[in-house]
Amino acid sequence: MEAISPIIDIISCLWNCSAVHKNYLCESKENVSSLKSSLKKLKERRDDVKERVDLAESNPSEPAKCTHEVGGWLDRVEILEQDVESILQEGEAANNGGNYFCCWGRKNCCRSYKLGKSAVKKKNAVEKLWEEGNFNTVVERSQPGPFQEIAANQMVGMESQLERIWSLLADETSKGRIVGLYGMGGVGKTTLLENLNNEFLKRKHHFDKVIWVTVSRDRAKDIKHVQKQICKSLGLSWSEETDIDEIARCITQVLKKKKFVLFIDDIWEGLELQKIGIPNLKITTQEVTKCRVIFTTRFESVCGFMKANESIRLDCLSPDDSWRLFQQNVGQRALTCHPNVSEVAIKVAKECLGLPLALITIGQTMASKKTLQEWQYALTVLGKSASEFSGMSNHLNITRNLGFNHLNLVPNPHKFSVCCSFWNYCTLLSARDSTSLFNINPI
């Protein structure tokens, strides 16, 4: 009996082996079909994983990236999918031909055997990858990119100012480490700063980090608000209980190792940069001298408080640039709706006194006006005192919000008040049907 046992084992082994090979040959069609089903399941799991990755990576408040494990798995799925698709195509051709899945002739038997064997092996590989794709975590926290593009309005008439500021940034030996841009509200300070930020994605430079911070009037004294934006850009975090001094030390430790540019938009009062955590740019160490701070404000006095090495005043646009900006926002369709509209439109643009924000706002409002009467009425509104219109009693608040009571930069303050009133009035007009526009009679 003991002598027979090894023989039985050999026979059993040969039987199992032959059964497997018989399966390759006789069940070739079923193997291909089963492979197709397994691949479908793998694709579904791959799509689920990709969705989770895309969702996490698209959250700007918490920068994240795909883990190396998940990335490698997705790559392997892609490679395997290509291999499987070629087998499925061969199986489809065999099925259409009607000869592969039978044993008529040696040639057909060999092909059917090879196809069935490949299908079984790839199915095992597909099922293994499907099991490996059950991830608890698909992304990991990542550092924000060094340069982030900002959706910025197109500049008109400020190209020379941009080049001047860029030269201060690019020159590593420049003493202009702190640069202040000042001017009335709506003159284009933020637009210039945004376009300057985007230049870092287009030009060569020596900086390795650009940080953008917005202060605004209602958060003028909120140091923690500024620190929060800086920390977000640097990939830092802290609890709400952490005091500003500890946060400042953390920011300083990171920034002193970087060649950074800090953009601070809309400062209403002087900020103590060191209290925020910005290294002292007056120190003449090699690292610090390559760093820059560029800020915007409505008040020249803020430039003095910030100890700006360069204070650059932004004025209103020239008549030619004003007309060019107005045209861009109105569009040719509105300007050509009547032969005389262009002449009236030039006068409307002039009443905006070269202020980009007014030119853009009024231009966009007038883009929907399609008759000469509407354009003439708009010019009439601009030419009259705001006090002559009902509902215009808040025009002084609009003017104050733009900062004109702080800066003596408007050649004709009365006309500009009217321009601001029209700007607000445009909002009302745009909500009305154009057919009822002429039922509104100025008082």
pLDDT per residue as tens digits for the range 4-56: 555 444 444 444 444 444 454 455 677 788 888 899 999 999 999 999 988 88
The C-alpha R_g of the chain, in whole angstroms, comes to 35
What is the structure's pLDDT at 140?
Answer: 79
In this structure, the answer to whether residues 167 and 309 fall within a common structural domain is yes
- Is there a domain that residue 146 lies in? no
Q: What is the pLDDT of residue 365?
A: 86
205 part of a folded domain: yes
Q: Residue 18: what pLDDT?
A: 45
- Are residues 135 and 197 part of one domain? no
DSSP H or E segment with residue 30: helix 28-57
The boundaries of the domain holding residue 373 are: 319-439
Strand partners, 65: 140
* Strand segments (E) across 278-397: 292-297, 310-313
Confidence at residue 28, expressed as pLDDT on a 0 to 100 scale = 67
Q: Taking a C-beta distance cutoff of 8 angstroms, is the pair 281, 291 a contact?
A: yes
Q: Strand 292-297 relative to strand 178-182: parallel, antiparallel, unpaired?
A: parallel
Q: How far apart are CA 325 and CA 153, in angstroms?
A: 11
> Residue 75 CB: number of other CB atoms within 10 A?
10
Least confident residue range of 13-27, 37-51, 196-210, 389-403: 389-403
Does residue 125 sit in the same domain as residue 164?
no
329 inside domain: yes
Q: How many helices (H) and strands (E) does the chain have?
A: 17, 7
- Segment 265-269 mean pLDDT: 92
- Among 265, 293, 313, where does a domain finish? 313
What percent of the chain is modeled with pLDDT above 70? 72
Residue of 133 and 28 predicted with greater confidence = 133
In the predicted model, what is the mean pLDDT of residues 416-439? 43
How many distinct structural domains can be found in the chain?
3
Do 168 and 174 touch, CB atoms closer than 8 A? yes
- The per-residue b/e assignment along 364-382, b for 16 or more CB within 10 angstroms, e otherwise, is bbbeebeeeebbebbbebb
Both 323 and 309 in a single domain? Answer: no
What percent of the chain lies above the pLDDT cut of 90?
27
List the alpha helices (DSSP H) in 256-355. Answer: 273-276, 300-305, 319-330, 332-335, 341-351
Whether residue 154 has pLDDT greater than 90 = no
Which residues are 140's β-sheet partners? 65
Copy the structure tokens of residue 118: 């490949």
What pLDDT score was predicted for residue 163?
A: 93
Instruction: Tell me which of 127 and 58 has the higher pLDDT.
Output: 127
Confidence of residue 143 (pLDDT cuts 50, 70, 90): low
Question: Which has more confidence, 186 or 26?
Answer: 186
For 163-183, what is the mean pLDDT?
A: 86
* Mean pLDDT value across the chain: 77
Is 45 among the domain residues?
yes
Mean pLDDT of 105-122: 69
In a domain? residue 353: yes
How far apart (Å, rounded) are the C-alpha atoms in residues 23 and 18? 8
Q: Is position 150 within any domain?
A: no
Indicate whether 387 pLDDT > 50.
no
Both 255 and 125 in a single domain?
no
Over range 372-386, report the average pLDDT: 77
For residue 88, what pLDDT band results from cuts at 50, 70 and 90? confident
The answer to whether 261 and 290 have CB atoms below 8 angstroms apart is no
* pLDDT exceeds cutoff 70 at 440: no
Q: What is the pLDDT of residue 36?
A: 87
Structure tokens at 334: 């509105």
- Per-residue model confidence (pLDDT) at position 214: 92
Which pLDDT score, from 0 to 100, does residue 391 have? Answer: 35
Predicted confidence at residue 95, as pLDDT, reads: 64
Are 292 and 323 part of one and the same domain?
A: no
Return the top range by mean pLDDT from 339-343, 378-382, 428-432: 339-343
Asked whether residue 280 falls in the same domain as residue 416, the answer is no
Report the pLDDT averaged over residues 268-296. 81
pLDDT mean over 108-117: 70
One domain, residues 294 and 435: no
Q: Are 115 and 87 in contact (CB under 8 A)?
A: yes
Per-residue confidence band for 283, with pLDDT thresholds at 50, 70 and 90 = low
Residues 299 and 345 in one domain: no
Query: What pLDDT sits at residue 3?
Result: 54
pLDDT confidence of 110, banded at 50, 70, 90? low
pTM higher than 0.85: no
Residue 358 lies in a domain: yes
Which residues, 6+ apart, have CB-to-CB distance to 294 below 8 Å? Answer: 165, 169, 179, 180, 181, 193, 196, 261, 262, 263, 264
Conformational region of residue 157, where left means phi above 0, alpha means psi within -120 to 50, and beta covers everything else: left
> Among 364-373, 389-398, 401-410, whose mean pLDDT is lowest?
389-398
Say which residues have a Cβ less than 8 Å from residue 422's Cβ, sequence separation at least 6.
Answer: 351, 362, 378, 381, 382
Residue that wins the pLDDT comparison between 108 and 194 = 194
CATH of the domain at 214: 3.40.50.300
Q: Are residues 186 and 305 in the same domain?
A: yes
Q: Same structural domain for residues 308 and 324?
A: no
Residues 302 and 164 in one domain: yes
pLDDT number for residue 285: 57
pLDDT higher than threshold 60 for residue 213: yes
Distances (CA, A) of 178 to 72, 127, 159, 282, 385: 46, 61, 20, 9, 41
Of the listed ranges 352-366, 397-411, 412-426, the least confidently predicted one is 397-411
Domain contains 154: no
What confidence score (pLDDT) does residue 408 get?
40
CB 72 within 8 A of CB 117: no
Q: How far apart are CA 324 and CA 331, in angstroms?
A: 11
